[in-house]
């Protein structure tokens, strides 16, 4: 029998390719994930619990949640507004606007932190004025929030723009022509259409907001119990050779990543938001 | 000669083709006509070697090719969406089949000359440097044809060749393809769901339904002497009158009396005839009648008597 | 590609956008542009203004010092190598995910996004635990004379981790959209499977692969969190450019940090701009 399939490989080639891909993913992605949990629980559950319930750890968790609780909604409002303007109207300079929104993606996290130090640091442009009025931004929570907002700036807009572009504006025009107000149209027509895409963007934005390291590291000043987020706390513990502690806190972040991945997969699967990632 | 013998094909539980037998003479232009799901495209793909039958055989000139892959069958295939290589120029598309030959590959100059010749044949000379994205639908269709012809196939297969084109281009291309076939004499099979297309182009029409062949015949035969009720309905229009009589709209005449009473619902002009839509009074059954435009059409609301001129009875 | 001829567009006097029955343009456009300006544009501009303010001579001295040059070489070099590794394996992973079904397909597909979701610092310490000389894999490589952690190789490993999803997610949709009929067409024309891949499939997905490579590269050049744990941070040897910025900042050498940041930003923008121009030229050429 020489029936040759025209668009697929033989079984042997197929198995080999699958095996290669899985081996690669196993080594580069799965193994690090396993390592986090394994190192965290190396000395049993006791030291693990001690590490994640220490005062410093709890304050890092609180700060991380606070930062995410501010930056995600802020970027959500921005993302929806920008997508509305970009997808429902025709105006010159639109593609420039889209490019500018994506800008933070192409900036190193460290540089993202640096720019806020240059603006608000002690030697920065507004530094003297801020010192005079006793406002602390750098090495304080506002700086961490600012840097995080900058880093996560494009996430939601960039999920919504392609989605709303595809959906067009027929539904909204129909609603307006039936006498709905702008807000009514948004709440009852647009939002239901984009909610899963919005959720998807929020998910990715949140994961990055909670996990951001480089930018936050530059502006935080690493003050224990005050300006340490979870990723920074991981670094401090690690540099103090408290490996179990570092991996314990890291494992919490890894859990966040896993929850994000599961939620993302469920969203993609159930609602087919992203049969394909559109760039 | 192409001989297809007792081909059966299942996709899971679905029986796509059942006991297909067909013989095609050299140089014939054959239409596989049927609704979607009739198995026509599957049959075409089995002939090409893109799909394999579960049982049965395919012979090319007495040569059993049933187990041979598509690369060894030497058939030209024109895909429904053309499947042009977007990143290659038109000329590179046409030359592809020659340039991938592992033995007896012609020289570069020969390949170029051959591609140019084919582009002239499909009336696209001068467009060789363009990319498929820069062509119209009809032009792409002809590039796909030229590309298939480049390998000098012993058989040309076309899957819904005009399916993706708008009405006007479709008609022009249809005429052009018929002329091209006459000129080249290459045995060709095309799949279509459009009976008009099949009747206009093909030497013989193979009418398929539910994985079976209902009738094979000249356009005249399948139209005038449909072998089954399905053919009668699918090829041309047919009224089903009470007591199982099948009659074409133009085979009905209006008589003074002694006919079947029909209540006229609607009358409109359709080309050279009046198309009359009515209801057979006793049976509440819709009937369509074509009446020569030189006659006076009855008015809606009137009741007339009709009589079929020429009927077919099918023994089920 | 204006879809209306200019004469058919009637703009209300004083408006530069095309009319629409939908409300909210002023509000949403104003909000997004203001926010963009405050959060992104002004802060980014400070880098360039500060650079401009320091004078060419000083800029070159701190921005192109030997230590800085070594850091650029390392950052760009490792990012390029990692990008290439990801181009190869990312294509393989995308191929396997699009073309084949196997048990655990969904889990594997989700796992590909792990680097997007896992905080970089976590990835960094995990990779170090694996590749340190006494680590999970490191201990077996050590006797072979292969050192991963605390060498440029370690940086590459971290950047491969970070960059993989960029390539996979760029290539996947294009590969999925590539019609089966195109491959069948190649087969009917007598092409072997390998010829079909080389001449039909690969050229079709190459732009996506290039995009994935460029995104992974740009990300890799700026990457910090996952690298600093595994790199060893030896000046001139394993000190990446972002780390050098941090070091300069810690020494209050703001000009040095700014100059290095400027060079890096110009380089990443350059890469992304080149990529966009390339893709635009391609689109024009193929008329798609």
Q: Where are the domains of chain C?
A: 59-286
- pLDDT interval class at C12 (50, 70, 90): low
Structure-token match 């040059």, residue found: C69
Task: Kindly list the residues from chain A whose CB atom is less than 8 angstroms away from the CB atom of residue C122.
Answer: 36, 211, 231, 234, 250, 253-254, 257
Instruction: Kindly tell me if the per-residue pLDDT of A276 is higher than 50.
Output: no
- Determine how many CB atoms are found less than 10 A away from the CB of residue B316: 6
Give the separation between CA A235 and CA B134, rounded to whole angstroms.
Answer: 55
Q: Which residues contact C149 (CB under 8 A, 6 or more apart)?
A: C127, C128, C131, C132, C133, C135, C138, C230, C232
Which of A24, A89, A235 is facing C121, going by the closest CB pair?
A235
User: In which band, very low, low, confident or very high, does the pLDDT at A275 lie, cut at 50, 70 and 90?
Assistant: very low
Mean pLDDT, rounded, for C227-248: 93
In tens, the pLDDT along C40-66 reads 999 999 999 999 999 899 999 999 999
Do B205 and B251 have their domain in common?
A: no
d(CA B188, CA C75): 61
Q: Answer yes or no: do A110 and C129 touch at CB < 8 A.
A: no
Domain end position, chosen among B207, B230, B253: B230
In 3-state terms, what secondary structure has residue B24?
A: strand
Residues B297 and B208 in one domain: no
- Choose from A1, A2, A4 for mutation: most chain B CBs within 10 A: A4
Residue A149, CB-side half-sphere exposure with 13 Å CA sphere = 25
Same domain, B252 and B208: no
* % of chain C beyond a pLDDT of 90: 78
CA atoms lying within 13 Å on the CB side of residue A192: 7
ipTM: 0.91
Question: Do residues B129 and B94 share a domain?
Answer: yes
Same domain, B222 and B308: no
Measured CA distances, C243 to A109, A118, C72, C124, C194 (Å):
11, 17, 11, 14, 44
- Residues B134, C57: Cα–Cα separation, whole Å: 51
Q: Choose among B153, B146, B207, B155: nearest CA to B177.
A: B146
Shortest distance between the Cα of B73 and any Cα of chain C, in A, equals 8
The predicted-structure confidence for A92-122, as pLDDT tens digits, reads as follows: 999 899 989 999 988 999 999 999 999 999 8
Its domain, for residue B268, covers: 241-313
B71 and C190: CB-CB below 8 Å? yes
Q: Test B70 with A3 for CB contact under 8 angstroms.
A: no
**How far is the C-alpha of A166 from the C-alpha of A257, rounded, in Å?**
29
The model's pLDDT over C122-131, given as tens digits with 9 standing for 90+, comes to: 999 999 999 9
Place C6 in a pLDDT band, splitting at 50, 70 and 90. Answer: very low
Asked whether the predicted pLDDT for residue C3 surpasses 50, the reply is no
The pLDDT of residue B236: 86
Under CATH, to which class is C59-286 assigned?
mainly alpha
**Chain C residue with the nearest C-alpha to that of A81:** C28
Report the pLDDT value the prediction gives residue B284, as an integer from 0 to 100: 83
pLDDT digits (tens, 9 = 90+) for B205-226: 999 999 999 999 999 999 988 9
Is the pLDDT score of A123 beyond 50? yes
pLDDT of residue C14: 55
Q: Does residue B22 form part of some domain?
A: yes
The pLDDT tens digits for A187-245 are 999 999 999 999 999 999 999 999 999 999 999 988 888 899 999 999 999 999 999 99
Contact across the interface for A6 and B68, Cβ inside 8 Å = no
Confidence of residue A272 (pLDDT cuts 50, 70, 90): low
Predicted local distance difference test score (pLDDT) of residue B118:
95
**Are B83 and C182 within 8 A, CB to CB?**
yes
CATH (domain of B73) = 3.40.50.300
> In which element (H, E) is residue A42 found?
none
Which chain B residue has its CA at the smallest distance from C285's CA?
B131
Q: How many CA atoms lie within 13 A of C279 on its CB side?
A: 16
Which whole number is the average pLDDT over B284-288?
A: 88
Same-domain status, B192 and B281: no
The b-or-e profile of C250-267 (16+ CB within 10 A means b, else e) is eeeebbbbbbbbbbbbeb
Helix axes C202-222, A109-120, angle to 10 degrees: 40
List the structure tokens of C172: 């996947």
B52: chain A residues, CB-CB within 8 Å? 3
Six token digits for residue A142: 């506002």
Residue of B nearest to A6 (CA): B50
Residue B85 in contact with partner chain C when CB distance is under 8 A: yes
DSSP class per residue in A127-139: HHHHHHTT---TT
Query: How many independent structural domains does chain B possess?
Result: 2
> In this complex, do C187 and B131 lie within 8 Å of one another by their Cβ atoms?
no
Is the CA virtual torsion C178, C182, C187, C191 positive or negative?
A: negative
Q: Let me know if residue B151 belongs to a domain.
A: yes
B281 and B255 within one domain: yes
Q: Are residues B206 and B303 in the same domain?
A: no
Mean pLDDT of chain A: 91
* Residues of C whose CB is below 8 A from A91: 16-18, 25, 29
On whether both B107 and B211 belong to a single domain, the answer is yes
pLDDT for residue A277: 38
DSSP state of A143: H
A1–B69 C-beta distance less than 8 A: no
- Contacts of residue A186, defined as CB under 8 A and 6 or more positions apart, other chains included, come to A84, C24
If asked whether residues B213 and B294 sit together in one domain, one would say no
Given pLDDT bands bounded at 50, 70 and 90, which one contains residue A40? very high
Chain A residues within 8 A of B50 when measuring between CB atoms? 6
Are B175 and B64 found together in one domain? yes
């Amino acid at each position: 029998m020489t029936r040759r399939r025209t668009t697929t490989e033989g079984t042997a080639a197929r198995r080999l390719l699958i095996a290669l891909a899985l081996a690669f993913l196993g080594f580069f992605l799965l193994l690090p994930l396993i390592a986090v949990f394994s190192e965290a629980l190396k000395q049993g559950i006791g030291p693990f619990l001690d590490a994640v319930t220490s005062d410093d750890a709890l304050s890092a968790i609180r700060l991380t949640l606070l930062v995410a609780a501010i930056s995600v909604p802020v970027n959500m409002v921005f993302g929806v507004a920008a997508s509305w303007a970009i997808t429902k109207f025709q105006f010159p300079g639109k593609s420039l606007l889209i490019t500018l929104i994506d800008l933070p993606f192409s900036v190193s996290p460290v540089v993202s932190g640096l720019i806020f130090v240059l603006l608000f640091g002690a030697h920065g442009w507004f530094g003297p004025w801020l010192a005079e009025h006793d406002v602390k931004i750098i090495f304080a929570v506002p700086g961490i929030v600012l840097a995080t907002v900058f880093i996560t700036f494009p996430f939601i807009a960039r999920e919504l723009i392609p989605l709303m572009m595809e959906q067009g504006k027929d539904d909204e025009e129909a609603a307006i022509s039936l006498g709905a107000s702008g807000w009514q149209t948004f709440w009852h027509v647009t939002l239901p259409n984009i909610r899963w895409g919005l959720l998807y963007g929020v998910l990715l934005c949140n994961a990055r907001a909670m996990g951001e390291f480089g930018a936050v590291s530059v502006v935080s000043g690493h003050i224990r119990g005050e300006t340490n987020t979870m990723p920074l706390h991981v670094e401090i513990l690690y540099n103090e050779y408290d490996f179990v502690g570092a991996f314990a806190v890291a494992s919490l972040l890894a859990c966040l990543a896993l929850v994000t991945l599961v939620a993302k997969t469920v969203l993609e699967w159930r609602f087919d938001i992203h049969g394909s990632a559109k760039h | 000669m192409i001989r297809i013998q007792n081909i059966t094909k299942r996709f899971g539980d679905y029986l796509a083709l059942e006991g297909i037998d067909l013989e095609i003479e050299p140089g014939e232009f054959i239409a596989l006509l049927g609704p979607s799901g009739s198995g026509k495209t599957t049959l075409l793909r089995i002939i090409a070697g893109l799909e394999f039958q579960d049982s049965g055989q395919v012979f090319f000139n007495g040569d059993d090719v049933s187990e041979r892959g598509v690369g060894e069958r030497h058939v030209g295939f024109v895909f429904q969406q053309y499947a042009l290589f977007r990143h290659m120029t038109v000329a590179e598309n046409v030359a592809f089949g020659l340039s991938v030959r592992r033995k007896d590959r012609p020289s570069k100059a020969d390949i170029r000359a051959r591609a140019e010749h084919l582009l002239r044949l499909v009336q696209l000379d001068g467009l060789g440097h363009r990319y498929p994205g820069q062509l119209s639908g009809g032009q792409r269709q002809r590039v796909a044809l030229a590309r298939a012809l480049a390998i000098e196939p012993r058989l040309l297969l076309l899957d819904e060749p005009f399916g993706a084109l708008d009405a006007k281009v479709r008609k022009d291309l249809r005429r052009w393809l018929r002329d091209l076939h006459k000129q080249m004499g290459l045995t060709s099979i095309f799949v279509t769901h459009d009976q008009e297309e099949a009747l206009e182009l093909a030497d013989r029409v193979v009418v398929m339904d539910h994985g079976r062949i209902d009738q094979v015949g000249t356009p005249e035969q399948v139209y005038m002497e449909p072998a089954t009720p399905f053919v009668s309905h699918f090829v041309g229009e047919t009224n089903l009158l009470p007591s199982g009589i099948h009659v074409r709209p133009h085979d009905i005449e209006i008589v003074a009396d002694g006919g079947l009473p029909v209540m006229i619902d609607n009358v409109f002009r359709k080309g050279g005839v009046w198309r009359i839509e009515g209801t057979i009074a006793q049976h509440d059954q819709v009937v369509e009648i074509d009446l020569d435009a030189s006659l006076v059409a009855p008015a809606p609301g009137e009741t007339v008597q009709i009589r079929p001129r020429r009927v077919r009875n099918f023994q089920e | 590609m204006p879809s209306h001829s200019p004469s058919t567009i009637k703009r209300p006097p004083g408006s530069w956008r095309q009319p629409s029955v939908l409300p909210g343009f002023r509000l949403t456009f104003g909000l997004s542009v203001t926010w963009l300006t405050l959060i992104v544009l002004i802060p980014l501009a400070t880098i360039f203004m500060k650079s401009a303010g320091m004078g060419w001579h000083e800029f070159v001295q701190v921005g192109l010092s030997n230590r800085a040059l070594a850091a650029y070489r390392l950052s760009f070099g490792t990012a390029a190598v990692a990008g290439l590794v990801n181009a190869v394996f990312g294509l393989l992973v995308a191929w396997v995910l699009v073309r084949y079904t196997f048990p655990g397909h969904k889990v594997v597909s989700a796992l590909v996004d792990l680097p997007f979701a896992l905080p970089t610092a976590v990835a960094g310490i995990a990779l170090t635990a694996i590749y340190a000389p006494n680590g999970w894999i490191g201990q077996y490589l050590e006797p072979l004379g292969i050192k991963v952690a605390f060498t440029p190789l370690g940086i590459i490993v971290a950047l491969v981790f970070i960059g993989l999803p960029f390539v996979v997610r760029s290539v996947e949709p294009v590969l999925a959209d590539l019609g089966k009929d195109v491959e069948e067409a190649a087969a009917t024309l007598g092409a072997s499977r390998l010829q079909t891949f080389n001449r039909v499939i690969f050229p079709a997905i190459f732009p996506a692969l290039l995009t994935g490579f460029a995104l992974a590269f740009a990300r890799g050049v700026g990457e910090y969190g996952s690298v600093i744990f595994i790199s060893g941070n030896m000046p001139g040897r394993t000190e990446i450019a972002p780390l050098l910025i941090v070091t300069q900042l810690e020494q209050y050498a703001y000009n040095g940090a700014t100059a290095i940041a400027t060079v890096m930003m110009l380089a990443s923008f350059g890469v992304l701009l080149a990529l966009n121009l390339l893709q635009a030229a391609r689109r024009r050429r193929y008329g798609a």
